[in-house]
Amino acid sequence: MEILIILFPLIAFLLIGLFGRRLGDLPSAIITVLGSTLSFIFSIPALLKALNSPFSVKLYDFISLGSYTLTLGLYFDPLSAITTSLVCLISTLIFIYSIGYMENLFGQWTYKFYAYLSLFLFSMLLIVLSDNLLGMFFGWEGVGLASYLLIGYFHQQKYATNSAFEAFVMNRIGDWLFLFGIFSIFYLFGSLNLLEIFSKVKEIDPNLLGLAVLLLFGGAVGKSGQVPLHTWLPNAMAGPTPVSALLHSSTMVAAGVYMGARLYPVFESAPQSLKVVALIGGITALFASLAATSHTDIKKIIAFSTMSQLGLMFLALGIGDMSSAMFHLTTHAFFKALLFLSAGSIIHAFHHHARDIYEVGGLRKHMPITYATFFVGALALAGIFPFAGFWSKDLIIASSYEASFGLGVFVSFVSFLTAYYIFREGFVMFYGPERHKEHFEEEPHEAPSVMLVPMVVLAIGSAVVGFFEGWYMSALKDHKEMHLNIAISSVVIALLGIGLAYLVFVKRVLDPEKLYQSLKPVHTTFKEQFFTERLYHKILAGGYMLYSKVLYTTFERQFIDGIVNGSYVVSSALGSLFKGLQQGRVNLYILFLLVGFSLLVLITFLGGR
């Protein structure tokens, strides 16, 4: 029965893909929701069973590699079973929301959108549940394909196609590293089965294992948008908002962190490589937080927040606290999906035209439920008690202080920035003057019920899921104690960030315009992501294009084309010369005969002399 968990989304994808045009858009949406709902329902008994005793489900023998036969199957333990239920639940809520969000596009082949969503869910479940690395890689590539299709869904817009292409290229770089990591693991262990790998991990040379871990982590860097393969993630906001919520909450970008946790027995046996994981995670957490403080795009601010929080999760993995990383991934799925859906509610209110936080303002009167849900998500992200982020982030902060005082201060500073930028966005959009009157003709209105209900459910989850910390740690065979001093200081630091945003953007004690003018170089540096995007787009991609163009105009056009065109001229001339032989004109044949006979006589005469 457990196999049905991954089969329902696959069946939904095939049904919609084959018959969606006849079924129509709304029935396709319902099939997508039905597929994810059934997966969630079937994941609950599997979760209860896995909590008592992990178990495997064999699917079939895939391929024989010498004496080794690769068997594909599913593996249910507390980590995979909890993550499966989480993925199915969050996906179901987002799919329901998408019915209202995409309604204005019904009748324009929107069934394809729902087919892609089902493919996305199936691929993510394959990553989570596969009992071997090859199955995980199939899912890895599946989410890559689905994300490419979904990010570029509005393919008539150049920005969307460019974003999809960028996501595709960046992920391919990571995927190659991941693939070489899988080859390395097979070379070292002689197996791709997870349980067999874990049982042999102590027998492997740590140096070779460290290299394999770094290659695997390279795949996670690409998939989770970590520095230096990060630029695709904020640009992926070109896709519809439900796609953004799905990518950033429980599926694609979470896959990298999950892979690290799934293979953690391998990762922790290469401690030098774990330092690299922590370093990349820490750099990304700070990098993305600073970028978020300056951006004004409604969804990009939340996207940078995802990069930053994933960085904290990798940091936790790197310092040896896998369970805290995964618990933060779990709580983060609720409030990050909530923030994106709330942002989508605002975009929907202005018929998908509002993109910048400074295009709107004073929305709390017009959209009270969206206002409440957004700030529930913001409080959870900022780590305010008792919301979900408080419990999970507190664990990472405590582990960081245990690793070193400096690292603890670093994570606290990132938490301060997090509270500041997310409340900056909320205060600008929901307080102050109603700037939308200057930009749009539409009057803002609350979203329909089909969008509000998932938002309210996620808000409830963002408020209460943190209380399951003890249960979660017990399921992962770990135990954590709350450090009261760190918990209090974390809340105070978050309140300082919120207070600063409130003083600047609500009370305007400090004029934001004057602050911007005085800090313009710093603001530009942060907003340009320390100019990394320009570096990639202008110098690397632009340089490659220039190099290709020079090669085309010189080597190909002059040399290659010169040889080809020259051979054509020579062949044409020779053809013209000898074509008389093939024309069937008797007078020419007689002429050639006379010339030939004359030459023969001449040669004979000259030879005789």
- List helix spans (H) across 102-157: 111-129, 133-151
Q: Where do we find the tokens 């919301």?
A: 387
CA-to-CA separations, 581 to 309, 514, 587, 588, 597, in angstroms, rounded: 80, 89, 11, 8, 16
pLDDT of 338 reads 97
- Contact (Cβ atoms closer than 8 angstroms) between residue 135 and residue 126: yes
Q: Mean of the per-residue pLDDT values for the chain?
A: 92
**Does 386 sit behind a cis peptide bond, omega within 30 degrees of 0 on the bond before it?**
yes
Phi/psi of residue 73, nearest 5 degrees: -170, -175
- Predicted confidence at residue 493, as pLDDT, reads 96
Dist. CA 93–CA 236, nearest whole Å: 21
- pLDDT confidence of residue 480: 83
Rounded distance between C-alpha atoms, residue 373 and residue 368, angstroms: 9
Of all residues in the chain, the percent with pLDDT exceeding 90 is 71
Q: Which of 3-17, 56-70, 566-580 has the highest average model confidence (pLDDT)?
A: 3-17
Q: Average pLDDT in the 387-391 region? A: 95
The mean pLDDT value for 318-342 works out to 96
Tens digits of per-residue pLDDT, 493-551? Answer: 999 999 999 999 999 888 888 888 888 999 999 998 999 988 988 888 888 889 999 98
Residue 526, CA atoms < 13 Å, CB-side half-sphere = 20
Q: What is the mean pLDDT of residues 131-152?
A: 93
Query: Tens digit of pLDDT for each residue in 464-481?
Result: 999 999 999 999 999 888
Q: What is the pLDDT of residue 359?
A: 93
**Per DSSP, what are the bridge partners of residue 68?**
65
> Do residues 140 and 175 lie in contact, with contact meaning Cβ atoms separated by under 8 Å?
yes
pLDDT band at residue 87 using 50, 70 and 90 as cut-offs? very high
Domain ranges of the chain: 1-131, 132-510, 536-608
- Residues 96 and 54 sit within 8 Å (Cβ to Cβ): no
Q: What is the Cα 75 distance to its own chain's centre?
A: 24
Residue 283: pLDDT over 90: yes
Which contiguous run of DSSP H or E holds residue 366? none
pLDDT at 590: 82
With a cut of 90, say whether residue 442 has pLDDT above it: no
- Residue 302 tokens, joined: 């939340």
Residue 576 has a pLDDT of: 79
352: left (phi over 0), alpha (psi -120 to 50) or beta: left
pLDDT of the residue at 580: 67
| Buried b / exposed e along 58-80 (16+ C-beta atoms within 10 A) | eeeeeeeeeeeebbbbbbbbbbb
Task: Sort strands 68-76 and 55-65 into parallel, antiparallel or unpaired.
Answer: antiparallel
Give tens-digit pLDDT for 546-565.
999 998 888 888 888 888 88
Could you tell me which of 250, 218, 221, 217 has the C-alpha nearest to residue 233?
Answer: 221
DSSP 276: H
Mean pLDDT of 164-193: 93
Q: Does residue 65 carry a pLDDT above 80? A: no
Mean pLDDT confidence for 571-585 = 77
pLDDT of 175 reads 93
Considering only 120-129, 163-172, 179-188, 209-218, which range has the smallest mean pLDDT?
163-172
φ, ψ of residue 75 in degrees (nearest 5)? -130, 120
Section 433-462 average pLDDT: 92
Residue predicted with more confidence, 461 or 72: 461
DSSP 3-state assignment of 430?
helix
Residue-wise burial string across 534-564, b where 16 or more C-beta atoms lie within 10 A, e elsewhere? ebbeeeeeeeeeeeeeeeeeeeeeeeeeeee
What's the mean pLDDT in 398-411?
A: 95
Whether 448 has a pLDDT exceeding 60, the answer reads: yes
User: Which of 331, 280, 339 shows the shortest CA–CA distance to 308?
Assistant: 280
CB atoms within 10 A of CB 452: 19
- The CA distance from 186 to 61, in Å, is 17
pLDDT tens by residue, 190-229: 999 999 999 999 999 989 999 999 999 999 999 999 999 9
Distance between CA atoms of residues 340 and 249, nearest Å: 9
Of 10-24, 323-337, 528-542, minimum mean pLDDT range: 528-542
DSSP string spanning 74-101?
EEE-HHHHHHHHHHHHHHHHHHHHHHHH
Rounded to an integer, what distance in angstroms lies between the CA atom of residue 86 and that of residue 96?
16
pLDDT of residue 609: 57
- Helix and strand counts by DSSP (H, E) for the chain: 28, 2
